[in-house]
Structure 1
Amino acid sequence: MRNLEHEIQQNEEKVVQSIEEEIKTKEHTIKKTSGIFNGIQESTRSERFT
């Protein structure tokens, strides 16, 4: 029974770590995409004033 509990705990830790890594990757992608859109908005605003 103890071995099973230990195995379950290890699997949970692996899953949590995997999810955390996936979240960090998605956050990084969102920040990059947001930066691109902000750049597009700024250039559009600049063109309107020029």
Structure 2
Amino acid sequence: MKTKIEDALYNLGSEIESNTVEVYISRLRKKIGGGRILTGRGFGYRLVDTW
């Protein structure tokens, strides 16, 4: 999944570095709560509904 996100960013003409996705996921976790975004190694990220 990370590669799909990186590919989408490259398609937008953005130059990204190797840790860009992790930085943005970290920022999202700080804003919406750390337990809302789960990481599945080899699978990607998953947004969890905590309602």
Bigger Cα Rg: 1
The higher relative CO (CA closer than 8 Å, separation ≥ 6) is in 2
Higher helix share goes to which structure?
1
